[in-house]
Amino acid sequence: MREDSVASFWETVARGGRDECWPWLGALQKKGYGACTDLLETSLSHRAVWLITHPGVKLTRADVVRHTCDNPPCCNPAHLRLGTYLENSQDMVQKGRSRNGENHYLTTLTAAEVRAIVAECKPDKSNWGEVVSRRGITRHWLARLMRGAIWRHVTGIKPVKLEEPLVSNCPRCGKEVVRRTLHAKAYCSQNCQQVHWKQRAAQQRRQQEAPAVTVLQAARRSEPKQAAPREGRVAG
């Protein structure tokens, strides 16, 4: 990479002390990250900083350049760490920045209501149907709540951990999946899960519509066929 390109890049960064944030002075993306020209095959300023300060290193899509300062436009190399999406998500949860519980934009329940639902449910599931009807929730959501898959930070319910990891194959693509909890997802990715669920829903819909289609086909076969009128010969 040419030195003039690097110099032009640093001119768009407000550099300060080592422990201070160095904000990007150019355009910003929707999530607040600096948007630069395609420098070193990236359009994100903080990833470009990592590549400039680590010559010879190549970043893949699986690599995440994390901000220890939690300031997206920061371009201070001392505030950047290389990690994975999993580490980035875990860091977000530990710092309380994840959209879970009442912070989620789709939630309609409060933490107090969730605690009340847990207190109402019996361990033998005998009154779950009544709780579902009264609270206006689904049984699937309630099952996830009671096994600690959701609202875990409120209920304190922890998923049941397996003594030994369970190795299975993704139902859609067949990729190997290692599960460490009893109710962990059997899919290798969320994309596989969504695609497989859509395929199952379409199959169930076809099965439900099959009797009606069979009746309709039988009715059409039983209808008398009308012979097509023959055209008369024109005398020459």
Task: Provide the CATH topology of domain 3-94.
Answer: Homing Intron 3 (I-Ppo) Encoded Endonuclease; Chain A (3.90.75)
The model's pLDDT over 149-174, given as tens digits with 9 standing for 90+, comes to 889 889 999 888 877 888 888 888 88
Task: Provide the CATH topology of domain 159-215.
Answer: Erythroid Transcription Factor GATA-1; Chain A (3.30.50)
The model's pLDDT over 26-41, given as tens digits with 9 standing for 90+, comes to 999 988 999 987 666 7
At 145, the amino acid letter reads L
> Mean of the pLDDT values across residues 80-92?
87
232: pLDDT strictly greater than 60:
no
pLDDT at site 25: 93
pLDDT at site 20: 94
Q: Whole-structure pTM over 0.85, yes or no?
A: no
The model's pLDDT over 3-14, given as tens digits with 9 standing for 90+, comes to 777 888 899 999
Residue scoring higher pLDDT (75 or 55): 75
The model's pLDDT over 89-132, given as tens digits with 9 standing for 90+, comes to 888 877 777 777 887 778 889 999 999 999 999 999 999 999 99
> Mean of the pLDDT values across residues 41-65?
88
At 114, the amino acid letter reads V
> What band does 236 get if pLDDT is binned at 50, 70 and 90?
very low
The average confidence (pLDDT) of the chain is 86
The model's pLDDT over 132-153, given as tens digits with 9 standing for 90+, comes to 999 999 998 999 899 988 898 8
